[in-house]
Copies of this chain bind each other. A is one copy, B any other.
Amino acid sequence: MKIQINQINPKTLGLDYNKDLITDCLKGVNTDVLSIFPELSVSGGMLLNTSSYNDLYSNSMLVCESLIEEKRDIIFGTPIQSSEGRFNSLVMVQNGEVLALSTKKNLSQFDIGFQQGGGIELVKYNNHTLAFGFLEDLEEFAKEKIQTDVIVLCSNYLFHQSSQKELFDEMVITARTLNAPIVFCNRYGAEGGYVYGGGSFIINRKGELCGLFSGFNQESKSFETLTLKPIVQNPSSKLQNIYDALTTAIKDYFNKNGIKKAVIGLSGGIDSALVVAIAVRALGKENVIGVLMPSEYSSEHSVEDALCSAKNLEIEHYIVPIKDMFNQCSTTYNEVLPNQSFNVAEENLQSRLRMITLMWFANKFRAGVLNTTNKSEASVGYGTIYGDTSGAISILADVYKTEVWELSKYINNQ
């Protein structure tokens, strides 16, 4: 049987957008192909609590109906409300008729508001046995050792450094145990602070890789599951994956929120140098604005380094010394509370003046501020509240300082 894997990037609550995304994938595909889509492809994932949205279920149902009317063979993901409750569901459609439904049984922390469903579903499809359902329900299904011709998994699988490898190793064992090929259809793209890692794949009953998608791109490809041929394909390196994931995080955050430009403070340090490089890759150099905000404590060297990075990346940039603003604040405060010695209040004041400067530029350019705090700093609380911890998105929040260096060297060597 022919299966088309569609690795897409739906928008959370972007139902019309997602419908077009799905129907576009169906164009030019033969009608004897079963087109499969990721979990919650209709509504987008990261719904956080589906009971917060009044129209989510009825609006999703409208999209489902129009997808069914395409009179194609499809499996897609959607929230469904029935007399039995609300479920994270996969709908299997054959030629305009709903053939079967799989509802998620082993709910995750992202499934708040959904009730426990029935797990992986077994169907007869064109004289073959097909099992389809959610990744979370596979373990339970595998225990039953039911013979099927193919297992289809539709997922919203989050990216982390080793997620792809761990999952793949698990699937190889399951394919061999159940003696069936496994089709894993994942979404890619970011929603807020979360990045989905794509990397959809297909393995044969021996656990051999027969198809592997990239991590962070839209891809559609068809496979004949009864005659799968092993391929040799190495997955991307760890650093390339992180680089792509962080680029996707910025790109999707700005695109999905309708923000075009980004403002970033350039200190001359490695963190802001890395973030600005990734921002230029994600948004284009014409959409990134660098702001250098030296104080009297900044070395000349650090200003030069920051300027150098801005010039190399060919971005619009400004130098805004904070000395006069800092002195004016100190003078004003000294008038009401004289003879204060320089302490944490003044250190934080500098950090906060940089923040209000970045926010002033962001307001003027209708831009979002990129935070540059790394995970090592965040872990120990090294930062100023309403100061350098501010910003619309913090892409290094899950990247340790050691990895900041590794990744920077990796990018420089490209």
A residues near B (Cβ < 8 Å) are 318-322, 324-325, 328-329, 331-333, 336-337, 340, 343-345, 348-349, 352-353, 355-357, 359-361, 363-364, 385-386, 390
Most B CB within 10 A of own CB, among A328, A337, A340, A360: A360
Known A325-B325, A328-B328: A360·B386 in contact at CB below 8 Å: no
How far apart are A120's CB and chain B's nearest CB, in angstroms? Answer: 23
CB contacts (< 8 Å) of A319 on chain B: these are 336
**Copies of this chain present:** 2
Asked if A320 contacts B345 (CB within 8 A), the reply is no
Q: A337-B361, A348-B360 are in contact. List 13 more A-B contacts (CB 8 A).
A: A318-B336, A324-B328, A325-B325, A328-B328, A329-B356, A329-B360, A333-B357, A333-B360, A337-B364, A343-B363, A348-B363, A352-B352, A356-B386
CB contacts (< 8 Å) of A331 on chain B: these are 324
Known A340-B364, A356-B386: A324·B318 in contact at CB below 8 Å: no
Asked if B345 contacts A352 (CB within 8 A), the reply is no
Asked if B345 contacts A360 (CB within 8 A), the reply is yes
CB contacts (< 8 Å) of A322 on chain B: these are 332
CB contacts (< 8 Å) of A390 on chain B: these are 386
Asked if A359 contacts B363 (CB within 8 A), the reply is no
Complex Cα spacing A349 to B363, Å: 10
Asked if B332 contacts A345 (CB within 8 A), the reply is no
Most B CB within 10 A of own CB, among A320, A325, A343: A325
Asked if B359 contacts A352 (CB within 8 A), the reply is yes
Complex Cα spacing A386 to B329, Å: 17
Complex Cα spacing A182 to B348, Å: 54
CB contacts (< 8 Å) of A337 on chain B: these are 318, 361, 364
How far apart are A369's CB and chain B's nearest CB, in angstroms? Answer: 10
Asked if A349 contacts B356 (CB within 8 A), the reply is yes
Closest to A356 in B: B352
Complex Cα spacing A45 to B257, Å: 36
15 contacts between A and B (CB under 8 A): A318-B337, A319-B336, A320-B333, A320-B336, A321-B332, A328-B328, A333-B357, A337-B364, A344-B363, A345-B360, A348-B359, A348-B363, A352-B355, A359-B385, A386-B390
How far apart are A144's CB and chain B's nearest CB, in angstroms? Answer: 24
How far apart are A34's CB and chain B's nearest CB, in angstroms? Answer: 38
**A332 touches which one: B320, B333, B348, B349 (CB < 8 A)?**
B320
CB contacts (< 8 Å) of A385 on chain B: these are 359
How far apart are A330's CB and chain B's nearest CB, in angstroms? Answer: 9
Closest to A293 in B: B332
CB contacts (< 8 Å) of A364 on chain B: these are 337, 340, 343, 345
Closest to A364 in B: B345
How far apart are A313's CB and chain B's nearest CB, in angstroms? Answer: 19
CB contacts (< 8 Å) of A325 on chain B: these are 325, 328-329, 332
How far apart are A352's CB and chain B's nearest CB, in angstroms? Answer: 4
How far apart are A89's CB and chain B's nearest CB, in angstroms? Answer: 23
CB contacts (< 8 Å) of A353 on chain B: these are 356
CB contacts (< 8 Å) of A344 on chain B: these are 363
